[in-house]
Amino acid sequence: MGSPPATSTQTAAASGMLTFTVLAGGDDGDIQVNSNVSGGYPPTGTPSPYTPGATFTAGRRLAFNQYRVLVGLVRFDTSALPDNATITGATLKLYVNAKADGDNRNVVGEWYAASNWPIDAADYTATPSSTALAGADITAITTSAVNSLALQNVSNVSTTSYTGFRLHVDGGVPAADNYVQFSSFEGGNVPQLVVTYTVP
């Protein structure tokens, strides 16, 4: 006589959450291009990377008779995630020092390959992309506070290396001043990435 078939209870997936903090000054910064309004838009100046300061900025500005586009970059070492993790959510937490919203714009963000670091002129683009952050209304962003920005397409979070972002102010030709200035590694209120996940 054979034995009755054995049954096993399916094990539920375990969930977890990890917070990653920028680890070095070179992991956040911005690239600015500016030129006189008379030269037209987009500005035609030479891209100028900046990483050592206490802030980094995303902006699309008409200020001081110049067009200025600033692209912010930030990356996190997310290799502490389990290699077999399924990413279920991600939130970028940035301390905002200052802002201007003359044209009612949004901060948007794209997943940006961490292999592009260190930050240099080649990281500049005048074209905003929203693959990671669909749009955070600058009007609703709070200054002198940490702002939590919910991300999309979170499968782009790396479980084995760094996860990077490029931040923009959206829209085309600015008619006024539009920017958001974030605290950097050197600024003390260090950027963070909060990731939720499950594992089998």
The amino acid at residue 26 is G
Note the CATH number of domain 14-199: 2.60.120
The Cα–Cα gap between 111 and 81 comes to 18
User: Torsion angle, CA of 152/196/18/184, rounded to 10 degrees?
Assistant: 20
Joined tokens for residue 144: 């002198």
Q: Are 141 and 107 in contact (CB under 8 A)?
A: yes
Specify the DSSP class assigned to residue 6.
Answer: P
Specify the DSSP class assigned to residue 40.
Answer: -
pLDDT single digits (tens) 114-154? 999 999 999 999 999 999 999 999 999 999 999 999 999 99
The amino acid at residue 60 is R
Q: Are 34 and 67 in contact (CB under 8 A)?
A: yes
Lowest mean pLDDT, pick from 5-9, 20-24, 55-59, 77-81: 5-9
pLDDT single digits (tens) 52-102? 999 999 999 999 999 999 999 999 999 999 999 999 999 999 999 999 999
Which has the closest alpha carbon to 20: 163, 184, 155? Answer: 163
Checking if the pLDDT of 175 tops 90, the result is: yes
* 179 Cβ contact list (under 8 Å, min separation 6): 57, 58, 59, 60, 61, 70, 98, 99, 100, 169
pLDDT number for residue 116: 97
Lowest mean pLDDT, pick from 6-20, 63-77, 79-93, 163-177: 6-20
Joined tokens for residue 47: 């891209």
